[in-house]
Structure 1
């Protein structure tokens, strides 16, 4: 029997953008339903557990701008969640360590300190580095200022308030490198953290690079208790204010009649009706599959079909029964060579042997003493590298989102084993020996990522190009009542970018400048409605939604 129910708003997908938007709609009096096909909410912020001893973050490796006046704390505080998410700051003198042959640079907090550190490391490039950081700092400041402004400015006002962005924002990072006369080694150091957005200097815009860099130079942090606490707190706010999260609930179709959205149809036949649907699902899958291209104009369909995705990642999740040698509380960005533009060309051509790049994130350093991370005396860390785009490299045909069963595919298993071995070998080059102490090792490929998030290309970073360099779709669509949110929209990638996009959309729908309001201290949610957190509070259980918290199959620690 087909079940039908009615809501004020339905959010498809529970990544950070979708949850933030849903929670703000709920605290503003809307009846909101969030539907998530996975077992838990959170998208790229979710965690998984192994051996009842180790918890691994999928996508939260560090967060920027979480100190006083920070964007993410303001977003949570506006929902009444102040104090429910706390942040541990990483090393202010070097939260990212960049290692090239013969050169190590520790990235400190603040544009001035960053510029000084770079010019000391590369004195022959001083003039070019100072010009580069001056432009990027200005673009970053303008971007943040506009994010915190009330309402949407006119074009004339926008140009007047963002002159450096108007000149440089849509140009590529390589163009700025050329303008500053920087050599390959300096370019590599300056773009070393570009895997944070999955694009090389010839594809990434100055706006993207500047916004991400500015974000972290305001301070690098890690959420105490791991990434799942972010999603769990948002679910608490949503449900406390009358909203509902349903996990293991896959939307098969977004329903459209006469140019306006009417609700969603579920796998199994149930229908949920609403005059407002927000898709936090993959943009391309939303347009081409969930809605159907017949409901969009030719230009949107053409751009979507021809879009290029940011590069995906492969990740090793590693636990050892011994602590790693003493090191700073910093991520590691390790490069075999010092020509980053050549590196991205290698990835595109699938010539990544020997492995040219690794990123390492050390959860047991960032969140010491948290029981779920690992037992005392053990280590928990992740090692990542960018991968060639597309299925061919992995020996896969259509991918798991289309229903392909790939895990017993011999070509896939062979490629996965080869890359795992290459990543382990390179990680020991970078970190020293640790293999004999491994007690858990697990590899996630872009195909794994697609299986859990249904993201096109298996990338956590969304669209790289949608109709031109730096172009991305807005949250609005041509279909009345249908909006988009998440890492594919123009508001940017990462946890904070997605959360800011969710805020921007909620503000549009409510007719309020929400980001500016909450940054000034406005409180929309009612903290008194939030549930008490008993001893043993588990963010993973909360993130299943109240209807499934006690369902079987929840992995636990201890």
Structure 2
């Protein structure tokens, strides 16, 4: 990324006259900041990491390899789609996308492969070929996905209602959605079919929202499945282009972003925002938008009094699951190795809940792996990195497995910790070699990240990447809205809406609308004109 887009935070810089401060530069923060800057507001983003972008950023190593940390594909990005229109608005149309083709995901369960094909009818036909006796269940499932997501649209739009309107009308949207959000994925699917293998295949992508079927809300499942139903897309040039192209527009409209800027407090007076603190430095503003998760916002940046005012309580909702990831660099091209564009969801057997619930550091990769091929998805990779390829292989993780190393520093956690990562790599490679034997002997770079790595860069205390768990309880929390009861404090990020780039973007859109109110409709017209 071009460094002129951002600068290191220094206390002696001029921070006067700010309308809005955004804490955290993930997709939700980038969206609301750019939206406000385009509306003529003076906006600054403060990011604790040494690079911006949150889970849209990539990291590079001296050998030239680059890997994404969170964006592996995005759905609903066809020309003319509403989501594509929002991205084009944020980037002035300078972010390009590559389709992943007819097949975007493959589930490998106990050695049997199931293809997820782009397009509702293609999906239906493919699943009927696998499960010819389950036509009624498959049709009911697709209908239910559509119905749930229609009600979901109203549910999320209601989050920008003013309190009086939410009480008088909004409860209808919440109640209608609760029919789906308050049931687990397994409960809903078990009503449609008793075929355990069909249920397992339909839930194979559950890693996209981080919970197994018996723990996840069907509303989250439906949104994610519906999001990818028309296929997957990948940002040309890599995931960090999402952040880079957005920041180019943000800074062109006067926005500023500061890295190595760890906000330590949101300053309020009589439950009204006055500004933020970074250490001993106070920076004033009219409003603060927190994009660092509700747990970090309320438990670490606000006072106990402010938490009570906002009715903040997470006792019934856990953080989302964590993960461990193996990053590989290969000395042959994706084409030479016949690596696919699609992602692979590997399960040792169809007991997905048991795999997640009984996961240990030792057995996790043996039982579950999500495998992605960034270099195969990106048409620019071979031009810029000829004769090489990249792979990412992820399994479920747990911060408790690394409790002994929580007080150590990044890159200085000791030999025992490094050995744990090496053991994980060895076990994950066994899975990769079994499915893709052609890569053996081509690996020239490898690296493993753990929940401690995630915590270090995001400050998510459990090493989670999806914020709050997408359980039924999550959808009943009253404070997951852009506007809080503290005047001038707003929330953005996936906790407010849903997991993923699209979910975080939606949160930024809702937050900007809550701030600008009727002024946001001018921007909606601009977006509409781009479609």
The TM-score, its normalising length taken from structure 1, stands at 0.84
Question: Contact (CA 8 Å) 1:110, 1:217: kept in 2 or not?
Answer: yes
Q: CA offsets, 1:133-168, max 9 Å, x none?
A: 221122124434776899758678778889974532
For residue 475 of structure 1, the aligned residue among 478, 482, 502 is 482
Q: CA offsets, 1:93-121, max 9 Å, x none?
A: x1101111252111111223212211211
For residue 415 of structure 1, the aligned residue among 406, 412, 420 is 420
For residue 168 of structure 1, the aligned residue among 180, 195, 202 is 180
Distance change >3 Å, CA 467–CA 188, structure 1 → 2: closer
- The structure with the greater share of residues assigned to helix is 2
Q: Which residue of 1 aligns with 2:448?
A: 443
- 1:198 and 2:204 are equivalent in the alignment: no
For 2:124 and 2:377, locate their aligned partners in 1 and report how far apart those are by CA, in whole Å.
25
Distance change >3 Å, CA 520–CA 113, structure 1 → 2: farther
Secondary structure of the 1:355 match is helix
For 1:476 and 1:118, locate their aligned partners in 2 and report how far apart those are by CA, in whole Å.
42
Q: Which residue of 1 aligns with 2:243?
A: 231
Deviation of 1:446 (Å)? 1.4
- 1:492 and 2:498 are equivalent in the alignment: yes
Deviation of 1:428 (Å)? 1.3
Q: CA offsets, 1:421-445, max 9 Å, x none?
A: 1111112122225242111101111
Secondary structure of the 1:251 match is coil
For residue 434 of structure 2, the aligned residue among 403, 414, 429 is 429
Question: Contact (CA 8 Å) 1:65, 1:220: kept in 2 or not?
Answer: yes
Secondary structure of the 1:226 match is coil
Deviation of 1:412 (Å)? 2.9
Distance change >3 Å, CA 149–CA 262, structure 1 → 2: closer
Deviation of 1:190 (Å)? 0.4
Distance change >3 Å, CA 114–CA 164, structure 1 → 2: farther
Distance change >3 Å, CA 160–CA 140, structure 1 → 2: same
For residue 219 of structure 1, the aligned residue among 231, 241, 245 is 231
Question: Contact (CA 8 Å) 2:158, 2:166: kept in 1 or not?
Answer: no
Distance change >3 Å, CA 482–CA 240, structure 1 → 2: same
Question: Contact (CA 8 Å) 2:361, 2:424: kept in 1 or not?
Answer: no
1:342-421 alignment, distance < 5 Å: 342-347=354-359, 352=363, 355-370=366-381, 375-387=385-397, 389-390=398-399, 392-396=400-404, 398=406, 407-421=412-426
For 2:170 and 2:308, locate their aligned partners in 1 and report how far apart those are by CA, in whole Å.
28
Secondary structure of the 2:371 match is strand
Deviation of 1:352 (Å)? 2.8
Q: Which residue of 2 aligns with 1:263?
A: 275
Q: Which residue of 2 aligns with 1:122?
A: 131
For 1:520 and 1:207, locate their aligned partners in 2 and report how far apart those are by CA, in whole Å.
30
Q: Which residue of 2 aligns with 1:54?
A: 65
Aligned CA RMSD, in angstroms, stands at 2.9
For residue 329 of structure 1, the aligned residue among 341, 364, 377 is 341
Unaligned regions of 5+ residues in structure 2, if any? Answer: 1-10
For 1:393 and 1:399, locate their aligned partners in 2 and report how far apart those are by CA, in whole Å.
14
Q: Which residue of 2 aligns with 1:509?
A: 515
Q: Which residue of 1 aligns with 2:4?
A: none
For residue 18 of structure 1, the aligned residue among 25, 29, 34 is 29
For residue 86 of structure 1, the aligned residue among 93, 96, 115 is 96
Unaligned regions of 5+ residues in structure 1, if any? Answer: 525-558
Deviation of 1:45 (Å)? 0.4
Secondary structure of the 1:422 match is helix
Secondary structure of the 1:104 match is strand
For 1:361 and 1:353, locate their aligned partners in 2 and report how far apart those are by CA, in whole Å.
17
Q: Which residue of 2 aligns with 1:290?
A: 301
Count of residues in Structure 1 that have an aligned counterpart in Structure 2:
512
Distance change >3 Å, CA 126–CA 249, structure 1 → 2: same
Question: Contact (CA 8 Å) 2:57, 2:68: kept in 1 or not?
Answer: yes
Q: CA offsets, 1:66-112, max 9 Å, x none?
A: 11232332113334x343001000112x1101111252111111223
Distance change >3 Å, CA 95–CA 287, structure 1 → 2: same
For 2:429 and 2:283, locate their aligned partners in 1 and report how far apart those are by CA, in whole Å.
47
Q: Which residue of 2 aligns with 1:553?
A: none
Question: Contact (CA 8 Å) 2:209, 2:470: kept in 1 or not?
Answer: no
Distance change >3 Å, CA 158–CA 260, structure 1 → 2: closer
